[in-house]
Amino acid sequence: MKVLKFFLIIILFLPISSLDAEEYEKRNKITKNLRCLICQGQSIYDSDSEFANSLKILVDKKLSEGLSEDQIYEYFKSKYGEWILYDPGLNKNTYILWLLPLLIFLVGGAIIYKSFIVKK
């Protein structure tokens, strides 16, 4: 599911590599979605810890190898577990997570709708 790209439009200039604007965005999107596991509540995009920096280098490497965004997430999940992704994705573990709020919204709507119908 394509994420709503509501985020920062970042213009990144790295002295070493020469990725173009679209690749930078992809890289930023990926690094913002990866959790810095030795920090307390930061993505590897935000963090400058050793771990985060190594991960960023690895993301660049995988991108230049041609891996897709999902493949890169799979790779890190295999090393560190689901915990490393900030976007919980839609899988058997997270159906309730995503659907419960929407269910609540619909139920709320139904209750309010009923209160109008009753009035008429």
Partner 1 sequence: MIYSLVGHYSLIVGLIIGLSLFYFSYKNFNNSTIVNTKILSFTFLQLFFVAISFICLILSFIFSDFSNETVFNNSHTTKPLFYKISGTWGNHEGSLLLWLLVLTLFIFLFLVRSKNQPVKYKILTLVFQQIIIVGFFLFLIKTSNPFNFIFPTPTEGLGLNPILQDPALAIHPPILYLGYVGSSIIFSSVLAATSLKIISPSWASHIKKWVLISWIFLTLGILLGSIWAYYELGWGGFWFWDPVENVSLMPWFALTTLLHCILVLEKKSILTSWVIILSIATFTLSMCGTFLVRSGILNSVHTFANDPERGLFILIFLFILIFLSILIFFFFHKDDEKKTYSFFWLSKESSILINNWFMMYFLSVVLIGTVYPIFLDVISSQKISVGPPFYHKLIIPFLIPFLLMMAIGPKLKWIKSQLEDKIYLIFFLIISILLAFLILKNFNQNILINTILISSALYLFFITLRDFFVKKYKNISQNIAHFGFSLLILSILFNNLFASEIITNLKVGETFENSKTKIVFESVDEKKKQNYNAIIANFSIINSNGEQESLSPELRIYNQPVIATSEADIKTTLMSDKFIVINLVQNQDFFNVRYQVKPFMLWIWLSVMLISSGGIISFLKKRI
Partner 2 sequence: MINKILPYSVIIIFVIIFFIFYKSLEDSKIYTPDTYSKKDLPVFNTKDFFSGENVKSSSIFELDKIYLLNIWSSWCVPCRQEHSLLMNLSSDNKLNVIGMNYKDNLKNAQNFLKELGNPYKEIFIDLDGTTAIEWGAYGVPESFLIINNEIVKKYIGPLNQKLIDEINLLIE
Residue ranges of alpha helices (H) inside the chain are 21-33, 50-64, 69-80, 95-119
> Site for partner 2 (CB under 8 A): which residue of 7, 17, 53, 114?
53
Torsion sign, CA atoms 90, 93, 94, 96? positive
87 contact choice in partner 2, partner 1, none (CB below 5 to 8 Å, kind-dependent): partner 1
- Residue 85 CB, shortest distance to partner 1, in Å, is 6
- Residue 5 CB, shortest distance to partner 2, in Å, is 27
Cβ proximity to partner 1, 66 vs 119, nearer residue: 119
The interface with partner 1 within residues 36-95 (CB under 8 A) comprises: 39-43, 46-48, 50, 53, 81-88, 93-94
Tokens of 13: 């200039």
How large is the C-alpha radius of gyration of the chain? 20
